A and B are shown apart, each in its own frame.
Chain A
Amino acid sequence: MRMWIYIVRRMILLVPIIIGVMTITFVLVNALPSYDHLVAVYGDPPRQRPWLYDPTVACNLLNSSMPADKQCVNPYYHNLAAPLGIGENPVTAWSQYMYRSLTFQWGTVSNDSTAGKTVPLIQGQEVTTVLAWYLPYTLELAIFALIIILLIAIPLGNLSAVYRNRPVDQASRVMSFSGYALPSFLLGSLLILGFVLLLGSGHSYYAHPPWCTSGEPTYNEFTGSWPVQACFAGGNYPSWLNQGVVTSPTGFPTVDAAIHGQYWLSLDTLARMILPALVIAFGSIAILLRFVRNSMLEVMNLDFVRTARAKGVPESVVVKRHAGRNSLNVTVTVLGLTFAFFIGGFPIIEDVFHLNGIGYILALSIQQTQAPLDFGLIFGSTLLFTYVVVIANCVVDVTYALLDPRVRLG
């Protein structure tokens, strides 16, 4: 009963956080330049950045205070949920923005941004639809990486606390330092280079995966999540594999492949996740390992552990039951704290390994050397990442309360 009260109280705490985050994004959306400002800065007609003024771009913003030929020419606006128009009441605009954010009306993907040009299928689509297409792959990768992190960090942290200042401890400490100090894009690229140099880009596995009867191996095939079309016998390309945009029963690639009876493809998708998941895990292991070690060291000096030892409880049981269980609280807390860091690593990994996840589409949307930024996708993924982090923190707190009765009773 107490637990339920705690959970409900924790849920109520979510409300101000979500309102606050969306207010910040609302302020940022409205800090985007207005047409008048752009004209004042760049001159009229603007020559430096013609894409700002593409009149062919459709526009959601109807602003009657401007002459007809100047309306809706700023594509930054057309793909945003609800920017504040000139002369509009900020409170009304804010409440509209809140309503649209909560009901997942996040605007559309721009036609002429890098993301829209690279993946033509997503042009003009709703941002939420596009994110929903790409989310399952990222989720699978995240779960995979999380399993690796927990499998490595907790036992290693316990070991290095038990064998403090021994070789195991030193080795794990070096690993933790390097995980923190190596940029993930560098590590990922080094791994790709190393594997390609080691196996050769034409290695038989990459040239002809088991289900693959013909087709040239390409870079995308080596690191990408999906095999090229030619890999399927006679160009028999499954309808649910559509240039990285998955239209499938569940959306999760491994599950879908299994549903379609392609067990090899299912396994292969998992196999291709190993390297990226390892790279993602490496950075997070570093932080978690250090906290597990320190909390173990603290717990093992506490009185009840000494009592257990004095009673003659075997050391392995002391470590596992008495100290280990108590240091688990810290593990959960740190996981919650580093979760934002953890999912913040996805864009770079999916970019390096060319995986079709949310991170990849986000990486495309922020490229502005050739085409404008896709503010719809950027703000949309900010909202999505925020929701994920907030919910994850909530889950972590509830788990913490389950593990530690003091939290829910105190």
Chain B
Amino acid sequence: MATDPSTAAAPLTGSPTEPVPPAPSGRRPNPRLEQYKRTWFFLRRNTLALIGLGIIVMLVLIALYAITQPIPWNGLPECTASNNQVVKFTETGLPGGTSWSITINGVTSSTSGNNVTFSLASGPAYKFTVGNVTGYHASPASGTVNVAGAPITEKITFIAGGAVSGSSSGAASPGSSASLPSCSVCTYPVGTPVPGPNCYQTPKNVPGVIAPTVSLHPLTLGALPMGSLALQPDIPYFYNVYNGMLRGTDYSLLISFAIVIVGAFVGLFLGAVSGFFGGAVDETIMRLVDIFLSIPQLLFVIIVIAVVSTTYPGGLFGLSDLDTRVLLLISAFMIVWWPYYARIVRGQVLVVREQKYVEAARASGAGKGRIVMKHIVPNSMYPVFIQMSLDVGAIPILIGTLVFLGFTIWPTPYFPEWGTIAAFGTSDVIGQFLIGCEAGICVIPWWQMVFPGLALFLFAISVNFLSDGLRDALDPRLRR
């Protein structure tokens, strides 16, 4: 404050120097800290809000652990692509629907289609034999495949009227000493028992559908705690839902929190400026808010990702394709999300700026920036917290919605993200169900839908509980 020289020159008249009260021995209580303490006091009495908070903390811890885990996209988590190779046998010459079989490494697989596919560990040479087909002669009837480096396609030609071939003892000729790789999740010919540890058989017509191995009484996880997710209907590869969910915690939480926090910051800033300054600034920002609120959210996200990923398939700013898409997803959602916060904050600021303490700050000469940053923004925050905690649970669901609609968000289809897994699982359940039961085997892969759906539900409902508790704790009008 500027001092008037005339009053400064006249000391000891009037009462310019009142004795300053001695500073209290303890620190002066910080009013904002007191507010947080009060909030915690009310939140602590709300059981549901506490449960929600606990679940969120637990999920964050899981996410921190999951960063260390391998990313299970594109097939098998343990039997890596470098370890296994696809060996494909195609036949020609048989009439459609005739059953034929291939035996390799002691494992027989039969089909009535044109192809038999095996997945074998790289390295050794495997012997194979072709099973008998009445009235046909196979060429070659047996042979060797060298599994190394690249997928192999072997052609088998059946000639009608030939001698019975492929000696009946063919299945009993293990040949090499190689065995199937002993990994916790393994691939195997469709519909055959697999001799190997931790390998699971899938039903004949629904390859890659394995029920969860988790057991509750003696608590063991097993190899596939949450079952499998079939990658494609015709190849026997599948996806470990548990690994996907674990790693998905990471991506889901990162993306949701990033969107909400960035969006809230932008909205908070613009809303505060708009509400405080009013006039033309307010009009401009509020028209911008109206414009962005009118754009359909999901469509905008779709357009942004589609346009940028088509234009720059290699990624932007030297980032990888995946990182670019995550960045795009976050920024696209953020662009359509900030208007909600801006509107909420503006409404709150309009109330707060008329309060006595803001007037007092202005009277004591505080600048506009200081009033906004130190007085108005901190006191307009609480509806933002409530809205943030509500919104954060909706984002994995929205991503799942996009994936379910068939839009390609991720570079790989089975990206480990909760919404994505839930969407694929759900469409797969409906697909499996509609295909129906064939040959007496009837499997509805409920786990593909239930576990990821449960994760989405738990996350969203716990943030809802927390938001409800926060609302009760922070808004004194509702506490009466």
Contact = CB atoms under 8 A, between A and B. Distances in A.
> Is the pairing of A and B real?
yes
Interface of A: 13, 16-17, 20-21, 24-25, 28, 31-33, 37, 41-42, 48, 76, 114, 173, 177-178, 180-186, 189-190, 192-193, 196, 219, 294, 297-298, 301, 340-341, 343-344, 347-348, 351-352, 362-364, 366-369, 373, 375, 378-379, 381-382, 385-386, 389-390, 393
A385 B295 CA distance: 8
B299 A378 contact: yes
B406 A369 contact: yes
Given A340-B297, A363-B406, A379-B303, A177 B288 contact: no
Contact of B296 (A16, A20, A344, A364): A344
A185 B401 contact: yes
Given A183-B397, A193-B433, A347-B405, A28 B303 contact: yes
Interface residues of B, number: 58
B84 interface: no
B205 to A, nearest CB: 18
Contact of A340 (B293, B405, B433): B293
28 contacts: A20-B288, A24-B291, A28-B307, A31-B307, A37-B311, A173-B468, A177-B465, A180-B393, A181-B393, A181-B457, A182-B453, A183-B400, A183-B456, A185-B401, A185-B426, A301-B477, A340-B296, A341-B297, A347-B298, A347-B405, A348-B404, A364-B406, A378-B299, A378-B302, A379-B303, A385-B296, A393-B290, A393-B294
B121 interface: no
Given A181-B456, A185-B423, A382-B295, A33 B461 contact: no
A366 B407 contact: yes
Chain B CB count within 10 A is highest, among A13, A186, A344, A378, for: A186
A389 B291 CA distance: 10
Nearest to A188: B426
Contact of A17 (B290, B419, B429, B430): B290
Contacts of B307: 28, 31-32
Contacts of B303: 25, 28, 378-379, 382
A48 B321 CA distance: 16
Interface string B276-308: 000000000001101101111111101110111
Interface in B7-27: none
Interface string B376-417: 000000000000001001100100110011111000010000
Contacts of B426: 185-186, 189
Interface in B428-480: 429-430, 433-434, 444, 449, 453, 456-457, 459-461, 464-465, 468, 477-478, 480
Contacts of A369: 406, 408, 413
Given A185-B404, A382-B300, 8 more contacts: A33-B311, A189-B430, A193-B444, A348-B405, A366-B306, A366-B406, A382-B296, A393-B294
Nearest to A20: B291
Nearest to A363: B405
A366 B302 contact: yes
Nearest to A347: B405
Contact of B294 (A364, A367, A368, A389): A389
Contacts of B288: 20
Contacts of A186: 422, 426, 449, 453, 456
B313 interface: yes
A11 to B, nearest CB: 14
Most buried by A among B307, B433, B456, B468: B307
A13 B299 CA distance: 24
